[in-house]
A and B are shown apart, each in its own frame.
Chain A
């Protein structure tokens, strides 16, 4: 069966377009949901076949997170060892977060993080045969926005929703910021952390963000209006 870009593909479909491009001795990158089998590109997920430049990928709806390099994730510290934390990043295996991967950390000066705390970290090593490795610093040794997340509320959602609210075409977060000041971390492992000044606003914000999953881009304004109405109790 012929699969063109923009078609729905099922696992096992052969992507001729990628093969043809590769035969012209051009570099082709197989992204999420595609794999190389017997020298041809085969889809391993069901979803929409997309292409950007020379990258082919399958845009699918999924809840399970699979670590990949350079992803920003929210993890829950599960336990400590002599050298590192074990962190749950909603993958089947725990990830490693070394003590030295924090800003200003030395062998003697360890980060003050306890079991059960939330950390916002970057994946630096994602090998299918090894535990994923996380860091809380960038390449220059600064922590930037990474690190421990204090207070607030973390909730899980589908990976689709995180991609959606981070998409440039989605103005939800921008519209929400006009109604109520908030802090938000949307991590690609399907976890969102929010913090506002009041508990009620946090609960309403969580609800609004979760509802965005079933809302089209052009209807985000209505969604935010409803949020503002509920928050202030005044009808606009």
Chain B
């Protein structure tokens, strides 16, 4: 079903609010939502979230023949999906990301060549939009770039006669992709063609009639520009937006690099948590409990870890756990497929926590008001 028409009330309210320099989520006009990046257990899998917008990206690689026009370059393919299907907004996002990542030449494609004219690495970036609360393009771009920066491909040695061997991770260390720079998309919604709003929410995106998407890297170089909708845009406005975008891109690149460094340290210490850290326990609706009780639950969850491992031995648990991110969505790289089991173990304490909260709920629950009951 297509999206229902936006109500006139919401449209009028957003327009009035923007005219008074107010936004529904209390941000300033040039203020962004909180960014968070979580790296998975597998190399090249990332969940990026911008406010409530959430995007999962995973990079995989395979050996294929190069294009005849570029015999010594690897290839990159980007695929964007929203709820396991492609629709028009997905195609727009794919196109912008291709322009940003492939056509800005940020990846050293020549380093992906194994034997010229015969074998090259083909990179594939799969992006799933998990939740759309507006500004998918920024979030998808951050996820894609940080997934590429995180990805490691197997090492490969070619002998003189055109033969080559791909080494397993146990034989030779995996090697990262060479990125020359990190292009970052920054989306501005334009109201009345002159007021730029940074990081629009889904409501603002639907109200506005124009948006300006700039891709900038940390060196303040403009990689691509995309203007949608109808608006009278002055050169001054584009200049102003690109200055702001450059500032933003610099911050984000620093953030990605910090996150990568943190992930590297965690991996060295064997403490990589995977996607389980992206789940927030405090977001449980609390009809009856107070926060202290939730804290208690969080404490007990740590204590009970020994008992949990017993549960894990039972294989049936994995079947129940169908929504585990890593085991279902990641394109498995041959040598790392066993990691997904570990993922399940890591996530289960959180699930136990949720069940505990529900148990507390039942002790104090009694009558609900009328609206609860829906008689069939």
Contact of A215 among B11, B286, B365, B373 (CB under 8 A): B286
A11 an interface residue at 8 Å Cβ cutoff?
Answer: no
Do B7 and A117 touch (CB < 8 A)? yes
Chain A positions within 8 Å of B17 at CB level: 199, 203
* A147-187 with Cβ < 8 A to chain B: 149-155, 158, 160-164, 166-168
Do A76 and B7 touch (CB < 8 A)? yes
B163 an interface residue at 8 Å Cβ cutoff?
Answer: no
A118 an interface residue at 8 Å Cβ cutoff?
Answer: yes
Tell me, rounded to whole Å, the shortest Cβ–Cβ distance linking A66 to chain B: 7
B1 an interface residue at 8 Å Cβ cutoff?
Answer: yes
Bound CA span A107–B30, Å: 51
Do A154 and B5 touch (CB < 8 A)? no
Chain A positions within 8 Å of B367 at CB level: 52
Tell me, rounded to whole Å, the shortest Cβ–Cβ distance linking B154 to chain A: 42
Do B5 and A160 touch (CB < 8 A)? no
Do A199 and B371 touch (CB < 8 A)? no
Bound CA span A151–B14, Å: 11
Tell me, rounded to whole Å, the shortest Cβ–Cβ distance linking B138 to chain A: 22
Bound CA span A216–B285, Å: 9
Name the prevailing secondary structure of the A interface residues: mixed
Do B362 and A214 touch (CB < 8 A)? no
Given contacts A199-B22, A216-B290, contact A8 B359 (CB under 8 A): yes
B271 an interface residue at 8 Å Cβ cutoff?
Answer: no
A140 an interface residue at 8 Å Cβ cutoff?
Answer: no
Closest-by-CB residue of B relative to A66 is B374
Q: Chain B, interface size: which category?
A: 35 or more
Q: Chain A, interface size: which category?
A: 35 or more
B267 an interface residue at 8 Å Cβ cutoff?
Answer: no
B306 an interface residue at 8 Å Cβ cutoff?
Answer: no
Chain A positions within 8 Å of B374 at CB level: 31-32, 57, 66, 68, 71
Bound CA span A204–B290, Å: 23
Residue pairs across A and B with CB atoms within 8 Å: the count is 135
Given contacts A78-B5, A203-B17, contact A154 B286 (CB under 8 A): no
Given contacts A31-B375, A160-B285, A161-B285, contact A149 B9 (CB under 8 A): yes
Name the prevailing secondary structure of the B interface residues: loop
Chain B positions within 8 Å of A206 at CB level: 24
B232 an interface residue at 8 Å Cβ cutoff?
Answer: no
Do A8 and B362 touch (CB < 8 A)? yes
* B108-159 with Cβ < 8 A to chain A: none
Do A199 and B4 touch (CB < 8 A)? no
Given contacts A166-B369, A203-B26, A216-B286, contact A116 B8 (CB under 8 A): yes
Bound CA span A193–B17, Å: 16
Chain B positions within 8 Å of A162 at CB level: 371
Chain B positions within 8 Å of A114 at CB level: 8
Given contacts A52-B373, A59-B368, A199-B13, contact A117 B22 (CB under 8 A): no
Chain B positions within 8 Å of A217 at CB level: 287-288
Chain B positions within 8 Å of A6 at CB level: 362, 365
Residues of B that sit less than 8 Å from A by CB? 1, 4-13, 16-17, 20, 22-26, 282-291, 355, 358-359, 361-362, 365, 367-369, 371-376
8 contacts between A and B (CB under 8 A): A59-B368, A66-B374, A116-B5, A153-B13, A155-B10, A193-B9, A203-B26, A213-B286
Which 7 A-B residue pairs are closest in the complex by CB-CB distance? A88-B4, A216-B290, A32-B374, A68-B374, A116-B8, A6-B362, A153-B13
